[in-house]
Structure 1
Amino acid sequence: MFTPLTHHDPARLGSYHLTARLGSGGMGTVYLARSDSGRTVALKTMHARSAADPVLRTRFRLETDAARVIGGEYGARVFDADLAHETPWLATEYLIGPPLDEAVRLNGPLPERTVRAVGARLCAALARLHDSEVVHRDLKPSNIMVTADGPKVIDFGIARALGDDRLTRAGSAAGTPAFMSPEQAAGEEHTPAGDVFALAGVLVHAATGRGPFGTGQAADLLYRVRYAEPDLTGVPAGLLPVLLPCFAKDPRQRPTTDRLCALLGGGEQDFADCLPEPVLADIARRAADVWRVTPHRLPPPAGEAGEDRGDASVGTRAGMSRRRLLSVGGGAALGVAAAGAGTWVWFGRRGGSEPARPTPPTVSAKPAWGLLWQVSADFTDPPVPPFPLLLDRLVVVGGTDLKGVDPRTGKTLWADPEVYFGHRTVTDGARIHTLDYTLDKADPLSLCPVGLADGRVGDPYLELKDFHGGLHGTQLLCASGNAVYVVGGRSSRPIDSSRNDTFRAGQSWHLVALDVHARRKLWEVPLPARPDGSTRLHFLSAQVSGERLVLVQQSADGATRLVVRDTGTGRLLWDRPLDSASPSSGRTRPAVDDRHVYPAADGLLALGLDDGKVVWRRGKGTAYSPPAVHDGVVYAVESGRGVVALDAGGGESRWAEKGGGATTADLAEPPVVGVTHVYRRASSRLRAVALADGATSRPVDAPATARYFAHPASRRLIALGEGYAAGYPLL
């Protein structure tokens, strides 16, 4: 499974340290590698002789494009790539599980239930490719990885392009003779129907342990594929009428992937429950083995001088800050825990400190729907206030460390600056403010600017000497215009920096408004005392609408209230309890416009911004996501129905989502309103619904586990996942 590195292999590519070989073919080598942050990846490279061929470089680029299209749900998620490097490389998710042919060798022919489940999911994978005008051309059992989450399609006809006796060329098509379609074997155009033919052959192999056209020399196999009928001996009776039409010599007579998926069924089952015990045991073994691998390099042959491969790295940094070093250790621990449990969290901490370069979508003329860029980013969940910080030409992501990113390209503009701790940094859309303090003494509460170009903290423009800026519980809530809103504390006892991780007895707390322009305090109001040892912050969110400060306030026992104050005086206008005592991160920030507040509640609810009175309520007793409001329309995800749009003024229905998939809707987060589409999370990935009438619903190659934010200035949808930030087209 793993073989040592040779003395010729590089020690590092990009931000990835190579640890072992996974395999090598005529065109390139695949390595097991780990990133600076502890992420384990499969890193594919091209051989030097292949990289020198412009045609093969183009094929490698197209493979990368296809891998991005199919995404992490049906394939290996692309984390990073450098296609312009002297040795082009591609870093993807390391899939834990055996190839399908090995799974069959372990277990023998797979049960019909398993074959149906594999087939249904592979139909969905191929449909994803075909929707983007991509065909696989080399679908075979060894190119399908069996993981606990489902089969994953890999190796898009590239890795075995040269020097492999199982790979042949017929006309301009490359593929494996035993699983080619008749038209591909004849050198004709390979269409999506050709992938259906190959898929049927894969399922026959899964069900019987052999291919439908036997074995032998390539010429014999190509002849049988073109002229002979498939041997379906041993295929379960229930599968025979499903698979037989897929082997029609005329591609027009084969079923589509959608039709084949419907005939197979099995798509709604828990995939791991469909796997036989020997395969599950192998997956668990592989999950444990990957973390036992230690780098080992074979010495050069006798008589050949050894060489130091330390200079083979690309894009290394001269040093690493202590805070960055600590975050690296945390990422590695998370990865070990996940893989050791036999599962692979592929939307966890991402490898590399530099973003993947976005590759133009050359394989399709359709609009891009998938990943454009991705960077590693540490952050706390739930972030308070919610991150990222969105400015026109800058997005700031992070938690214990902040990183400035170009929202259009994903280029890191600055990283690991002096600014850290997300709940102490806010933006008004044009500037960034932070509370500066040191961890070893009780400094005054100091409000400072942050340089947009370099992330550095400037000299304080306001200091409150009667507040201790280093106390746990200090918060910078939000900023609007010249006003910044802060939670500050005073202490009647000496500050013990070694125990400054909770509220302590003898502290008093206040909500304070500061005028940045006039450099003075506008007002302060007292907040409830916290018991000694409490860790809950006073506020979960804050935002300004006109002359109103809208807050979600949290008590020491976790109960939450919606509180609205006058921005000019701090006077309490109204407050009311929220439905949930322990709201999820998506329910801590109500939607607000210039007239109403729309909290996450029982049904959909509009409250008057000035007085808190109920203006309208719809769907009481029905489960909804937190709402979003944009241009006079309230959007929410309704259980079993999908996105619904209501008039913000009176709550009248405008439309409900059409297009299917609503049963998988995720109600934890609010929908995100884009330019022409509104986005909602589904069971496994994002879906986009047309703003005009809700009639168009389509999957987006983006994980459902992330939180999403619209950035209209760059036309990007910003994602925050565990350990990463990413950019997608905002449509």
Structure 2
Amino acid sequence: MGPLKDGDPRRCGPYTLLARFGGSAGAVRYLARGDDATTVLVAVAPAALAELPAFRRRFAAEARTARRLAGEWVPRPLEVAVGAPPLWTATPYEPALTLGEAVALAGPLPERAVRVLGAGLAETLARVHATGAVLHGLAPGTVLLAADGPRLTAFGALGAAESAEAREGGHLSVRLGYLTPEQAAGHEPGPPSDVFVLGLLLAYAATGTPPLPDAASIADADPDLGAVSGELRPLIGRCLAKSPGDRPAAGRVAAVLAPQGAAALAGGGWLPDRLAGALDEQAARVAALDAPLTGTAPEDLDGRTVRVGRQTRREPAPGGPGTARPPEVLLPPAPPATAPAPPVPAPLSAPAPAPAPGLTRRGLFTGLAAGVTGAVLGGGGVLAFASGDADQPRTDARPVARPRPAVPGVPPRPHWAYVHPAAGGGALNAAVWRERTLVLTSGAHTAAVDLATGRRLWQRADAPSGRPALTAGGRLLVVGAGGLRSLSPEDGTAGAPMPLAGGLRPAAVAGQAGDVVWFTGTAAARTYLVAYDAARGEELWRVQVPNGRPPHIPAYEVLALRPDTLVVRQDPRSLTAAQVKAAKGLAIFYAHDRATGARRWFRPFGGALPGGAVSGDASGRLYAAVAGALHAFDTGTRRPLWRLAGGGPFGRAEVRGGTLYAADRSQTVYAVDPATGRARWRRGTEAAAGGDVPGVTVSTSGRTLLAADGSQVTAFGAGDGRRLWKFQDAGVRAPGGADISAPYIALAAGTGTVVVRRDRTFYALPVE
């Protein structure tokens, strides 16, 4: 943090700038306070560069990408000003250090911190790569370390640039701070290029030194990973493979580093004490600012260009380019100022621009690689852009909408809307596969929709399923007439049915935990509950359970998991008359040994009914809606724990981040302590009471709670219950169209996105 300089702006929109706070070649970051006393970071583009049409287009494009990726590890833009100079964006301030600052202050990070860092970044890259795009935004100065996890602050070549400068004729020259083997060979980068740079960053974080310190070693040498811990070394080594095809996908990197997710691994603190203390000191300094800093005191290290390698050169090959510095690859100059501005793409279409004349993408990256000097991650190169540049690296294929400030209380604009065609086959089920794909299953077909763009990827009639798809063992799985089968996420190609002995035919999935899937199936006129390891393709156990009331095959639901026990309930439709009579009309819950499947006990809990709303959590607690109240039971001791009175029947509860969320028919949403039932907050949705009980869904980040019923979706801040916005659609818009009676349903779809469904229409909404 340093003082403002002469020529620095003093105010941007509603924000008063207080101090410099680092930045990049494309923008200087400032600490600022809003008129409402909120502390924010404002990134302002250099005035000289902001005059270039090419710079303005790129700055705006990367700001749009930041909006689309906003979520767990990407700060949410509060305001964006890109129409004319000055260009600036504002994001919430939270204490953080750049990766370069952290390593300079405390040395190499411990293994757990490296895992959280890598998993968080890889989770974001996976969302970008799902579209086939490349981020171009990783560098020691663009990755921040905050108390709850990493943050990414650059969303394209401009944000990660080591330098950017205007050239004659309206050109923009951008020098990147990294190089990949494919770029050194003259090929254009793809998603594996981001994974390579991620590997460089993780090795640097784990050792404090670069594994490939210069361009020559990036192109030809094996990485020096001797100081990387044994468990991390193989994964980082695969990320740094010379061939892009040998590198793991970003999603796989995230899964290996943090199988439970980066947020869960970071829980309880993930940074060394020295860095945590530095964040506290920074927060105190920022809180003490009550007027702009001025003067000539030196600025703190901002990590913008952190040198982690030797400044050596790669000598040109005999007969090759003879320059010692990468050539300035310039595109044609910008059009005259009187030329009409290119139109902003319509919200529901994003056609790819035509290539710029006179320069191919291969030519661009061949020029980038020649004679590269060592830079941020051991190599670097120059890109040049002009107005209308067609080589803008796409970081997200979502349709581009005009940036607009967030308006409190107003629902955000959906990224996309998708209407699935009616094709018979019974109910349409929806599930999300690895934060990349919306998978729709029915008795007629299975289809996949790209979560980034809303475009249908494929539809297959040879793998229908009347049940929602699931993810286990890294696979996309469906249960249908052909058994338990894996589908290719890329094109829907169905694999062979997973091996099951004795002619067992899966009927319905009961639940899953990690790679293990529990389902019911039939063989020789008998019904079984089965545990199956989907990663190894191996049955763990099967136990016989009562056959259901014909023609129904019993479907069980896993409600609660203890370390040694799983608790299930049979669906009411398949209960026989004898079962109903024996239970005296109450729901019967069964406990099975997780290792062997042996039944341990069966019993009712309170007045829970067979079709009543019941859920559970990893602690083994059971939450049951009974007669206008929500009851909690301990499945270990089988004793009641607490009772929460409501204004009508409760729906199914959900536990996330140490809080239980539930709603009742009075349209009241509750957040309570799951151990004691003590209320943390309660708010109404303001929908008419007496209708559907809202279903509750917590966003992937855990920061937003959505209550969806028959009339609307209401978003609340999960932590404090503040009402954020409400969402409705217009239903069938055609004159004389039928009314839609289907309720709204919300699906957590990954960091920063929730999918809202109404009948066969799906909307992707940005959320915290």
Q: TM-score range by the shorter chain?
A: 0.3 to 0.5
The answer to which structure has the higher helix fraction is: 1
What is the TM-score normalised by the length of structure 1? 0.46
What is the TM-score normalised by the length of structure 2? 0.44
